[in-house]
Amino acid sequence: MDFKIGDVVILKSGGPKMTVSEYPIKMIDGSENHAQVQCKWFSDNNHLTHSFFHIDELEKQN
């Protein structure tokens, strides 16, 4: 699956809507990791949170 910064995604297992903030992931050595996506979302207590997910864990939302 191809992701773009700004895409709205959700974990296939459920959870909050998240925004793609980095894809592909830029590695320290300059290479690109196309297997992971960085996402940001607001937690239940309204704190901005971020994490990395494998592309197979996510699906795009309309």
Asked if residue 26 belongs to a domain, the reply is: yes
pTM of the model: 0.91
- Asked if residue 6 lies in contact with residue 19, where contact means CB atoms within 8 angstroms, the answer is yes
- In Å, what is the CA distance from 37 to each residue of 21, 45, 46, 51? 8, 23, 22, 8
Determine what percent of the chain is predicted with pLDDT higher than 70: 100
User: What is the extent of the structural domain holding 28?
Assistant: 8-60
Residues 37, 25: Cα–Cα separation, whole Å: 7
Say which residue, 2 or 33, is predicted with more confidence.
33
Domain tally, the chain: 1
Residue 62 pLDDT class (50, 70, 90 cuts): confident
